[in-house]
Amino acid sequence: MEVERCVICGREFDPETEDHEYLEDGIYDEFGYSYLDDELRDGYVCLACVEDLEYYGNRLIYYGHEGKITVVFDERFYGYAMEDYEDFDRLAEILLDLEEIMKLYRYKSTDGWRGHYEPRKNSVGKWVRVIEGWNDAFSGNEYTERVKMAMETFRPLVVVYPRSSNLCVVYYDLWTEKDLAKELAETIIPEKEAFNYGIGLYIKALL
């Protein structure tokens, strides 16, 4: 029996008999896994750690001129998949750019059992976080309709759905390149901020 150790949790398992993934930095294909923690190295990831990431990780969607990339991530590693993506030559470059955003998100505890992920700062590299918000359902008001329209037309756009213990709302952050930030903010919420607890709405421009 060939035994390998999961590079995430350290558990030993037989990759011949147990489902797993392989964590490999710098090798990018249509889908795969790579690490954010610089102390990790290439190696096997057990199914339990993969499922934990898939079910409980933060979500990120990149809308670019080249196509769409969906990502699920935590503080240690991430998985990605492409959708209608065309420019494979720039895939590694774009994923490395997105890693800069992912590495900012850390869990913030608000009490003994509640908390959420949020970025440690609002800009990194060429990216800036322009909008933060939450909704009880991602539909039903003018602002979320504007966000949906931006997902269809505004490029490049990065939407992050941070993990939270609050199951009643969906949190989201909108990022774009710094020279496009003002345009995105004015497109989504020219009045800078809106809050309506009755319909479950909060949205704010961070510029």
Where do the structural domains in the chain lie, given as residue ranges?
1-87, 104-207
CA atoms within 13 A on the CB side of 196: 11
Instruction: Please indicate, yes or no, whether the overall pTM of this predicted structure exceeds 0.85.
Output: yes
- Per residue of the chain (207 residues), give pLDDT as tens: 689 999 999 999 999 999 999 988 766 777 889 989 988 889 999 999 999 999 999 999 999 988 899 999 999 999 999 887 777 778 888 999 999 999 999 999 988 889 999 999 999 999 999 999 998 855 568 888 899 999 999 999 999 999 999 888 899 999 999 999 999 999 999 999 999 887 789 999 998
User: What residues form DSSP beta bridges with 107?
Assistant: 117
Q: Is 59 helix (H, G, I), strand (E, B) or coil?
A: strand
Q: Are 132 and 204 in contact, with CB atoms under 8 Å apart?
A: yes
